[in-house]
C-alpha cells in the first residue's frame, strides 16, 4: 500500500525567500511521485512528476523536486518565492496497480508575505 505525508499544513515565507515543502512517501513498489498546485476555487494543476530516470525533476513556475529513495522523500523547492506562488500544494504517489489511482497527502498551504 502507498501513503504520503506532507510535513506542515501551513508554510509561510517572505517574497524572494527559499520555498521548501516537504513530502515523504511509503510505497512497496517503485513509486511514481507528483506535486500538484491548487489555487483558490480552482482544480489541481500538475507542477512536476517523477517516474524513472533523473532524480532531480524540474517543473513549471521555477519549482523542482528531488527524489531521494534512501530518505523516501520528494521535497518541493523554489529558490525565490513570488506572491503568485501562494496556493495549496499536494504531493501524491501512484497506486501500486498502475491503474491511475493517486494517493494524496493532506496538502500544504503556502503563504507568501510581501
- Residues lying near another protein in the complex (CB under 8 A): 4, 6, 9, 32, 34, 36, 42-46, 49, 51, 90, 92, 94, 98-107
Smallest distance, Å, CB 34 to another protein? 7
Q: Of the candidates 79, 74, 58, 67, which has an alpha carbon nearest to the alpha carbon of residue 15?
A: 79
Of the two residues 103 and 112, which places its CB atom closer to another protein in the complex?
103
Of 40 and 114, nearer to another protein (C-beta) is: 40
Report the nearest approach of another protein to the CB of residue 46 (Å).
Answer: 7
**Integer angstrom CA distances of residue 64 from 40, 80, 98:** 22, 12, 24
Helix and strand numbers, DSSP H then E, in the chain: 0, 11
Q: How far is the CB of 112 from another protein (least distance, A)?
A: 21
Amino acid at each position: 500500500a502507498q501513503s504520503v505525508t506532507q510535513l506542515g499544513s501551513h508554510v509561510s515565507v517572505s517574497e524572494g525567500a527559499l520555498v521548501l515543502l516537504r513530502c515523504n512517501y511509503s510505497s512497496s513498489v517503485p513509486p511514481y511521485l507528483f506535486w500538484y498546485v491548487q489555487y483558490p476555487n480552482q482544480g489541481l494543476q500538475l507542477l512536476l512528476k517523477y517516474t524513472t530516470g533523473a532524480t532531480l525533476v524540474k517543473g513549471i513556475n521555477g519549482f523542482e523536486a528531488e527524489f531521494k529513495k534512501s530518505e523516501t522523500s520528494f521535497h518541493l523547492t523554489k529558490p525565490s518565492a513570488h506572491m503568485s506562488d501562494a496556493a495549496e500544494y499536494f504531493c501524491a504517489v501512484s497506486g501500486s496497480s498502475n491503474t491511475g489511482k493517486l494517493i494524496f497527502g493532506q496538502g500544504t498551504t503556502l503563504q507568501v508575505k510581501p
